[in-house]
Homo-oligomer: A and B are copies of this chain.
Amino acid sequence: MKKYMEMTRQERQAEYAAVKAAYDAQKAMGLQLNMARGKPGKEQLKLVMEMGTILQTEEDYIDDGLDSRNYGTVDGMPAARRLFADILGCRPEQCFVGGNASLQLMFDTISKAYVNGLLHSEKPWSRLEKVKWICPVPGYDRHFKVTENFGFEMISVPMTATGPDMDMVEELIRDPAVKGMWNVPKYSNPTGIVYSDETIQRLASMKPAAPDFMLIWDNAYCIHEFACEFRPFGDILSLCEKYGNADMIYEYASTSKITFPGAGVSVMATSEANLAYLNPLINIRIISYDKINQMRHVKYFHDADGIRAHMRRHAEILRPKFETVLSVFERELGGTGIAEWTHPRGGYFISLNTMDDCARRVYKMAKSIGVALTEAGATFPYGCDPRDRNLRIAPSYPAAEELENATHVVCQCIRFVSAETLLSRM
């Protein structure tokens, strides 16, 4: 397709008329498609239905003499801690296994910092004038909502092909008010990029002015390849330890996108010193998380190899969905110069940039035809994308047959808004 910028006014008007007609036709179809969230599809859920009934006898509920059915053991069943250590490459003693959401473990750790202070805090963060937080952009909207909730000042740092702009990060951490940083290091949300070894080393070895700096390592997609073989990823805990930063790192993961999104198991991996400090604080809030569900996961998967084998089945489901979206993008937007998008090999998202000042209108227009996207701006702190161009596309939930049409609608909307924008500038 011809580059929009190179079209004559007449050509643009013809294009505009064509996409407007297509838009009107789509609208009449009354679609109801959702590409807003990284929600696994029904086919993925079906894969693990046997897990629901895997605990049969009383012995199945017991591990190391601990009864998962009763109160106690706030840091999780030993077998579950071993399973996650196996996945993350750290030691079981560094794993705190929680409930069905890693987001709540992240929220709660930051909440402890706010109310009580962390191990190396001089005082609770609620008593500080200002707390600042580094946010790679585009990034995960729910992360930004958490730090916004606590009133932290969020500082955007651009994502590059190798991870966040490390020169900026290294400059920012010289400010003692900068207390932490969000990271989704592998198949980042939404760009799908994987942090390079150099980026990871620079992060692990940095020396923030704040003694209680939190390097949050949301390893949400640690084994979520769909377009390549499993890519091993070094243990961030031992790397930080090597540089004297053992207590700076807080890693998170969960089975939300492995088993059931509503009923998975989550983990926080951090130094044993941090856990010794945090466990009694966590224990004020909860006696223990659901340890039976931890045992279900252990009995079903046994070890990291069991989970990785399962994830290859997820890949078989997800790969064609991503391929569909990417091929429609290529066919309908390729060569137009009005959009660029990522080609992830794992994770749950494609990040798409429109021309400046178009994303919000595309989002609204798609919504009006019945295709829900993540709200434009959501991938930036405070929901504000300064160039109004980033859209997060989540291909996982719609059925394969709906996906082509949904993506077609998105492309139509992008062409419509782009043509309109360029015409208005002439």
Alpha-carbon gap, A403 to B155, bound state (A): 60
Q: Nearest Cβ distance between residue A253 and chain B, in whole angstroms?
A: 16
Check A287/B46 contact, CB under 8 A, given A53-B53, A70-B39, A262-B70.
no
* A146 proximal to B (CB < 8 A): yes
Whether the pair A292, B111 counts as a contact (CB closer than 8 A) is no
* A30 proximal to B (CB < 8 A): no
Partner of A290, one of B55, B114, B262: B262
Stretch of A7-15, A99-107, A336-344 on the interface side: A99-107
* A425 proximal to B (CB < 8 A): no
Whether the pair A284, B149 counts as a contact (CB closer than 8 A) is yes
- Binary flags per residue of A256-273, CB closer than 8 Å to B gives 1, else 0: 100011110000000000
Residues of B within 8 A of A72 (CB): 39, 262
Alpha-carbon gap, A256 to B288, bound state (A): 11
Alpha-carbon gap, A101 to B107, bound state (A): 17
- Binary flags per residue of A215-235, CB closer than 8 Å to B gives 1, else 0: 000000000000000000000
Whether the pair B263, A290 counts as a contact (CB closer than 8 A) is yes
Check A285/B116 contact, CB under 8 A, given A52-B55, A261-B71, A290-B290.
no
Whether the pair A263, B49 counts as a contact (CB closer than 8 A) is no
Q: Nearest Cβ distance between residue A291 and chain B, in whole angstroms?
A: 5
* A150 proximal to B (CB < 8 A): yes
Alpha-carbon gap, A72 to B103, bound state (A): 14
* A40 proximal to B (CB < 8 A): yes
Partner of A115, one of B56, B58, B114, B145: B114
* A364 proximal to B (CB < 8 A): no
Which parts of A18-69 form the interface with B (CB within 8 Å)?
37, 39-40, 42, 45-46, 49, 52-53, 55-56, 58, 61, 67-69
Residues of B within 8 A of A49 (CB): 58
Alpha-carbon gap, A114 to B149, bound state (A): 12
Whether the pair A40, B70 counts as a contact (CB closer than 8 A) is yes
Residues of B within 8 A of A56 (CB): 52-53
- Binary flags per residue of A134-170, CB closer than 8 Å to B gives 1, else 0: 0000000010011001100000000000000000000
Whether the pair B99, A290 counts as a contact (CB closer than 8 A) is yes
Of all chain B residues, the one with the shortest Cβ separation from A107 is B285
Residues of B within 8 A of A289 (CB): 99-100
8 residue pairs, one from A and one from B, having the closest CB atoms: A263-B292, A107-B285, A53-B53, A71-B261, A263-B290, A69-B260, A100-B290, A126-B126
Binding site for B on A (CB under 8 A): 37, 39-40, 42, 45-46, 49, 52-53, 55-56, 58, 61, 67-72, 99-101, 103-104, 107-108, 111, 114-116, 126, 142, 145-146, 149-150, 256, 260-263, 281, 284-293
